[in-house]
Amino acid sequence: MCGIFAYVGRQKAGGILLEGLKRLEYRGYDSAGLAVADKDKLRVIKKKGRVEVVAAKARRARLQAVMGISHTRWATHGDVNDTNAHPHLSDDSKIALVHNGVIENYASIKKFLESRNCSFQSQTDTEVLASLIAYHYAKEQPEEGKNRFLESVRKSLHHVEGAYGIAVICADYPNEIVGARKGSPLVLGVGNGENMISSDVSAFAGRTQNVVYLDDGQVVLITRDDFSVTTMMDESVQPVINRVDWEIEESVLGTFSHYMEKEIFEQPTSLENTMRGRFSDDGSTAKFGGLNIAARDLRQIDRILFCACGTAWHACLVAEYLIERFARLPVEVDYASEFRYRNAPLDKNTLVFVISQSGETIDTLEALRESKRKGFRTLAFTNVVGSTIARETDGGIYQHAGPEIGVASTKAFTSQILLAAMVALYLGRLRDLSFNDGTEIVKALKKTPGLVSQILDQADKIKAIAEKYADSRDFLFLGRQLMFPLALEGALKLKEISYLHAEGYPAAEMKHGPLALIGPECPTVFIAPKGEIFKKNLANIQEIKARKGPIIAITSTGSDFPEDLADDIIFIPQSHECVTPILAAIPLQLLAYYIARHRGCDVDKPRNLAKSVTVE
């Protein structure tokens, strides 16, 4: 959450900072701001609202500085207003700071500083850290050859409890920026005659593809021509420069109205990329290069635990069904935020998987760390190369879905389901899944991108259905077995971007409470593809119809779905059961998108939400 971008180079910093912030706005859009070093003083421009509001103010200011920091905020401490916007100045105006994360002991630090006659303007924990750095800067008498600014930051952070990713500038050091991280992502961009710091590599698009991923407890000092990385104990770190593997065009909106729309329609390509090179030569199983666990060790696994948050948690539920079905292994799914705090008894032969699109979700990261702390082999699905989860896990699988900018996950979700099916296939073939069954699944998975394209061709029809129900206040999403997680996901998508109340349930549970909601004003989206419980689904739909509830049915072609049973029917191609969850996700995404668009909602930047959740 929140976006940080800092720049030092030879060009005017103002426009470059604002360009970087626009690429980061999906991480937080309550307010935005920047600070630059202008001769011997710091100049701050910040405002409640979107980046464009700050950009207009900055253009009028005609900034000339070649160094500065910037921030787009998702509020944690303090109201959404101009004063609480970042950057924050220290009480003496020597230090300016932008910050992601939460400083848990800020109140005690603030009390200490107030006892030293320090005053505060905002309600934020960030301003407290800025003034703490200024306090140590005023007192600091570093050893000969040490950087006074850098050492004051390092010393201050020794007193901080909580999570942070920060970029700091000092009026007396107009050509230097200090960054540090603990529990919140921070990346160094290495350019030609310029260097940058950001919370996300997307801010570097068009300027550099060379990046250094900072680890927790590391501090970086950048100038336009050089950089150094050290630990909190002032130990030198030899940085590894990585190359970002996607181009700027991948994060450009192009002809689409919203990033969410673009990413929905990119799914045939993203699914193809997720599969590429990951099937055996004989076409009977999947293969993965980064699991770092031998097949003979995987055969000893008795149980699998999946941990994730939000949409990724729904992908875990799909994985549970698929792995139990094809690999005959018991699977448990836990919210990462719950797992990290409860003392879950796990068998020694348990394998833990975590799933996070960004690779930075704080609860999922901490669940990973808790699992490893207890000695369990822990693997991950993630979409971002070099992310913290990717670097800390024992092994894992990259999604290769490409950058996902829209806050509501679409192509990352279907990519995660696809990987879940491939893992189920792989584990099944290590056990008792036959060669013929394996080849049947591989053939089905390879057809998935084309089948998704067929559903996307129905976008206009789905748009008309969405607009028909867009003024409803409540929705129910129902499904059984593999379709239950899709019901949860469909409800979540609608809630996220249209602000409508929606609930997902197993269809058979409807009679145990949710049926009370049914009536002419509450549409039900029923996911009922062809399969062994198809007739059970039809019976549940009859129960809704008997109570005058409008029904939008999602079913398979050739399923013999009675035309008069639903008010509207969306057909998805008949497919193998491991592919059906992916296909069912597409109309759910389109329904949510078109409903939100019809209601005039900001689809890519839904209120109160941010793309990457890096605070508890």
CB 499 within 8 A of CB 470: no
- CA–CA dist 390, 383 (Å, integer): 9
Could you tell me the two tokens for 561? 């779905």
CA distances from 174 to 6, 128, 138, 391, 520 (A): 13, 22, 17, 33, 65
Active site residue 94: no
Could you tell me the two tokens for 153? 């930051």
Bridge-based pairing of strands 524-527 and 474-479 is: parallel
- CA 340-343-347 angle, to 5 degrees, is 105
- CA–CA dist 385, 60 (Å, integer): 39
CB 520 within 8 A of CB 547: no
Residue 392: CB atoms within 10 A of its CB come to 18
First and final C-alpha spacing in the chain: 10
The residue annotated as part of the active site, out of 46, 47, 110, 611, is 611
Under DSSP, is residue 569 helix (H, G, I), strand (E, B) or coil?
strand
- CA–CA dist 481, 263 (Å, integer): 27
Residue 14: CB atoms within 10 A of its CB come to 24
Helix (H) or strand (E) holding 132, with range, is helix 125-139
Question: b/e for 102-112, b at 16 or more Cβ within 10 A?
Answer: bbeebeebbee
- CA–CA dist 233, 248 (Å, integer): 37
Residues 6+ apart with CB under 8 A from 525: 475, 476, 477, 478, 487, 490, 552, 554, 588, 591
Burial of 343 per CB tally in 10 Å (0-12, 13-18, 19+): exposed
Helices (H) and strands (E) in the chain, counts: 19, 25
- CA–CA dist 467, 487 (Å, integer): 20
3-state secondary structure 369-409: HHHHHCCCCEEEEECCCCCHHHHHCCEEEECCCCCCCCCCC
Which residue is associated with the tokens 């875990």? 316
Question: Which 8-state DSSP code applies to residue 253?
Answer: -
- CA–CA dist 23, 536 (Å, integer): 47
Active site residue 2: yes
The residue annotated as part of the active site, out of 2, 307, 316, 578, is 2
Could you tell me the two tokens for 49? 């609202």
- CA–CA dist 181, 365 (Å, integer): 14
Residues 6+ apart with CB under 8 A from 448: 271, 275, 418, 575, 579, 582, 583
Half-sphere exposure of 103 (CA within 13 A, CB side): 27
Q: Which residues are catalytic?
A: 2, 611
